[in-house]
Amino acid sequence: MPSRLQNKVAVISGGASGIGAAAARLFVAEGACVIVADLQEPLDRKLADLISTDPDKIRFVKCDVSIEDEVVAAIEAAASAFGKLDTVVACAGVPGMGAAGDISAEHWDKTFAVNARGVFLFTKYAIPHMIKAGGGSIINISSAFGIVAGPQFAAYAASKGAVRNFSKATALDYIGQGIRSNSIHPGYIDTPIVQNIISNAEDTDAAQSMFNALQPGGHAGAPEDIAWGCVYLASDEARFVTGAELVIDGGLLAR
């Protein structure tokens, strides 16, 4: 049986669908116990079935990652249900589209509340549990647009860039406590967020073509492509990996 994450306990935010749901399923398959934290009930049918049939390994907690008390509750749910916490995957995110001159301050704040504040809160409240456990792994989902910019993604790119450097700062601050902190930078991945952007565009064909053109291979990656990166960073195989940015982008940044 696979056991790369045997005896690991994780909280995965944004775990109802997309990358977060894929990570949750793979973590359980690799031996971890998982709390799935999200505003919405799991949309991923395989994940929903897993939660209903195996509560000793995986549970769902409703959580708005921008609300401090709800993040605390999700973190405490893991420690209470499974006895400890040594892994967090901050996967919740919103697209934050538009150029700086076209978006509102409220749009900017909402994007940062989820994409940056949510990452900070999960890190802040996970750290005491990780220190108690003797170490841990913080995995923050940034973006290829957290390294380079993309047109019409001002708030998104800024928030994901913040995640990148915050992850590095955390790595330096807690390396002495055995806590590793890394960011993952996906390219264009076929997730509900991207599907919603395309379906809500004035010209859906043009929107689809825009996303396809980002990738040298001309198509999106799958959520599992990113989830396997999360498995690696959570595992003891990555024990010497901290402060790093793991790019899983199908060659997007190679151009």
Of the listed 125, 156, 174, 188, which one is catalytic? 156
**Euclidean distance between CA atoms 42 and 14, whole angstroms:** 9
Count Cβ atoms below 10 Å from residue 131 Cβ, excluding itself: 14
Identify any residues that bridge with 189 across adjacent strands, giving them in sequence order: 221
- Cα within 13 Å of Cα(254), Cβ side: 9
118 touches 43 (CB < 8 A): no
Q: For residue 73, give both structure tokens.
A: 């509750």
Q: How far is CA 123 from the centre of its chain?
A: 12
* Residue 67 CB partners (closer than 8 Å, separation 6+): none
3-class state of residue 63 by DSSP: coil
* Phi, psi values for residue 62, rounded to 5°: -70, 130
- Cα within 13 Å of Cα(247), Cβ side: 11
Max CA separation in the chain (angstroms): 53
Q: For residue 100, give both structure tokens.
A: 């700086």
Q: Is 156 part of the annotated catalytic residue set? A: yes
The residues that are catalytic are 156
